[in-house]
Amino acid sequence: MKKFKLLVINPGSTSTKIGVYEAEKLVFEETLRHDVDELSEFDRMIDQLKFRKDIIIDALKKNNVGIESFDAIVGRGGLLKPIEGGTYEVNEEMLKDLQEGSRGEHASNLGAILAYEISKTADGRAFIVDPVVVDELQDVARISGLKEIERKSILHALNQKAVARRYAREQNVKYSDLNLIVAHLGGGISVGAHKKGRVVDVGNALDGEGAFSPERSGGLPVGDLIKLCFSGKYTLDEVKKMIKGNGGLVSYLGTNDAREVVKRIKEGDEYAELIFKAMAYQVAKDIGASAAVLKGDVDQVIITGGIAYDDMFTGWIKEMVSYISGVTIYPGEDELQALAEGGLRVLNNEESPKVYS
C-alpha cells in the first residue's frame, strides 16, 4: 500500500495549526500564531486567505517540506449547510458557500479554501472531514415542541466521529455496526447518540444546548429565560453572551479553566465542587437520554475532550452511567490526526469521498 503524504490545516481565531503526515505518522507539526493587530486589518474572514496561506507555505519551506510532495491537503470544515458525516472533496459549491459566509463567519471557514488553494500548487486533492454542521438526525429528533423552531445538529463531529471509529478499530468491528454514546467535554459540551455510524440525536452545542459547559449555559428554564430577555436590563447581544461565552463555569466561578476549578476543589472550595459536580450530573443525564434514544442497546459510552483528563469529573459521570454499558475514556482531542485519518480513508479507497451540493 502506498504511503500517502498529507498536509493537514486547522485554522483557529488567532492561530493556524498544520501537520504533515506520512500515512498515519505525524512527521511535522506547528502552531502558527497570528498577531491580533495584524488580523484586525481584515474586515472579513475570507480576506485573511492570502495572509494565512503565505505563512503556511513559509513554515513548510523553513522545514524543508516540499509543497509538490503532498497527495492531499485536508482542511477543517467550516460553517456549511447541514451535511452528513464523512470526508468531502472540496468543490466549487463548497468554496462559494464558505467565501460568502452566509451561515456565519468563523476561522474554520478558511480550512477548505486553504486546502484547495495549496492543492493547486501541490497537484494533490483537497478534502474536509466531519465539520461541526454534520447533521444525521432522525426525523423525530428534529421536533422541538414549537412549530416555529426546529432542533438543529451542531456538535464536535470531528472528535466524536474520530473516537467512535477508534473504539471500533480497537474492538475489530465496524463503526457502522455499533451503537455508541459519545460525550465530548471541552469549552463546549456535546453528547451524541451514534446509531450504526450516524449521529441520530444530539443538541446544538454551538448555542450551548444540553449540559452546561465551561463557557455555555446549557439548557435553561424557559420561563425564567424569557423573563430575563424581556426584563429591559439586557440587550440581545448581552443575553447571547450570557448563554455562550459567559455561561456555565464562567457564570458561577468566574473561570472557563476546569483545571483551575479542580485546584479550588482540592483546596477545600465546596461551592466549586458543587458546580463542577452539577456539570458532570448534567452530562450524565444527557448520556441517559441518549441511551433512551438507542432503546437501551448501547455497546459503549465514550468520554472524550480536554476535561476527560480529570479522573474526578469522569468518575462522577461513570457512577451515574455505568449501568448502561462499559465506559471508555479517550482524553483530549487530536483534530489534526482525525483530519489526516479522514483523508487517508479516501486515498486508501476505504470509503468514497462525498460530494457537497
Mark whether 276 and 166 lie in a shared domain.
yes
**How many domains is the chain partitioned into structurally?**
2
Q: How far is CA 338 from CA 60, 255, 343, in A?
A: 21, 29, 9
Mark whether 199 and 257 lie in a shared domain.
yes
Residue 144 maps to a domain = no
Q: What is the pLDDT of residue 97?
A: 95
Q: What is the pLDDT of residue 1?
A: 65
Distance CA 348, CA 87 (A): 13
Mark whether 296 and 179 lie in a shared domain.
yes
Range of the domain at 16: 5-130+335-355
Mark whether 282 and 346 lie in a shared domain.
no
Q: What is the pLDDT of residue 66?
A: 87
Distance CA 142, CA 181 (A): 18
Mark whether 188 and 294 lie in a shared domain.
yes
Residue 315 maps to a domain = yes
Mark whether 163 and 270 lie in a shared domain.
yes
Residue 31 maps to a domain = yes
Q: What is the pLDDT of residue 354?
A: 97
Q: Which residues of the chain have pLDDT under 50?
A: none
Residue 135 maps to a domain = no
Residue 142 maps to a domain = no
Mark whether 317 and 340 lie in a shared domain.
no
Mark whether 192 and 318 lie in a shared domain.
yes
Mark whether 28 and 46 lie in a shared domain.
yes
Mark whether 320 and 189 lie in a shared domain.
yes
Q: What is the pLDDT of residue 133?
A: 92
Residue 254 maps to a domain = yes
Mark whether 298 and 206 lie in a shared domain.
yes
Bridging pattern class, strands 125-129 and 198-201:
unpaired
What is the domain-level CATH number for residue 40? 3.30.420.40
Bridging pattern class, strands 25-33 and 300-305:
unpaired
Mark whether 11 and 91 lie in a shared domain.
yes
